[in-house]
Amino acid sequence: MIVFDKLWQVMRERGVSTYQLREKCGIDSKTVRRLRANDNMETKTLNKLCAVLSCKLEDIAEYIPDSPPQEEGRA
């Protein structure tokens, strides 16, 4: 699962509100809700976020495995 917990931290550090994010990036409130819920996100939206926050993708998103992988041959 991709989570956007780091996004909110970067926004706080840079003093950017969700209102400013919507105005600067042109993303709507529905997209902000999807980010908060860690829903699927288009790469063009992620590109906009990285551009406006002057950061890398790994600064705002993180992959966390849903469950540990199971070893082959184990029941």
pTM of the model: 0.81
CB 50 within 8 A of CB 57: yes
In the chain the domains, ranked by start, together with CATH numbers, are 2-63 (1.10.260.40)
Angstrom distance (rounded) from CA 64 to CA 1: 5
Per-residue pLDDT for the chain (75 aa), expressed as one digit of tens each? 999 999 999 999 999 999 998 887 789 999 999 999 999 999 999 999 999 999 999 999 999 998 776 666 555
26 alpha carbon, distance to own chain's centre: 16
